Amino acid sequence: MQKRNALIAGSSGLVGSSLLRQLLENDNYEKILVLVRKPIGKSNPNLIQCQVDFDQLESFKTDVRIDDVFCSLGTTIKTAGSKDAFCKVDHDYVLNLGNWCAANGVQRFLVVSAMGADQGSWVFYNRVKGKMEKSVSRLNIAQIQVFRPSVLMGNRAEKRGGEKIAQAVMGGLGFLFAGPLLKYKGIHADVVAGAMIKSAANDVKGFKIFDSGEMQRM
């Protein structure tokens, strides 16, 4: 069986760092490329770091055949500095990566979104995520898979006060979220990353959305 090669965008984030670790440990993958603005402090014979400008991603070239692209790009309005800057990361950069996939013959594009994503939502964050999903769904890629986690559990390098409070609540009351409520239960970043990798191994054609409950059951 021929080993596959993967590319990750957003490898420094909560889900992205777990994706990187799990893919490097996965015997089905040979080379793991990460798109970065500056070098990350990791070393592995199967890891290739590629410094890129996400505003000009179409110019990125690689001689490595890419089978699966994992996108966990995302920020906050506070970190980005404005709503426009937030949109650039959470919509434009994701779409830029998807366009790169389509132009370079990538068959699988797997994207982290968020529970509640809806381009018609009155909540700005959910509206941007919904718009991103709609834009990505139109790409000419054989398999597009979108993952909508609920509250992400795990230790994030970037401090997010609201997320810490939500994690504490979910940690104490998680047992209440069962059956149809499972999709609202907090989900660990490792579970999200694991679900994405497992899903990439399946021949799921077209556009598919996985909610948080589906990821936890996987």
Q: Could you tell me the two tokens for 193?
A: 């990353």
Verify whether residue 129 is a known catalytic residue. Answer: yes
Q: For 181-186, which contacts have Cβ atoms below 8 Å and span 24 or more sequence positions?
A: 182/212, 182/213, 182/216, 182/217, 183/115, 183/150, 183/211, 183/212, 183/213, 183/214, 184/115, 184/150, 184/212, 185/150, 185/212, 185/213, 185/216, 186/150, 186/151, 186/152, 186/153
Determine the Cα–Cα distance for residues 145 and 131; give it in Å rounded to an integer: 15
Verify whether residue 134 is a known catalytic residue. Answer: no
Match 């500056």 to its residue by tokens: 38
Match 């381009």 to its residue by tokens: 119
Q: Which residue out of 42, 125, 184, 208 is catalytically annotated?
A: 125
Q: Which residue out of 29, 31, 93, 129 is catalytically annotated?
A: 129
Residues designated as active site: 125, 129
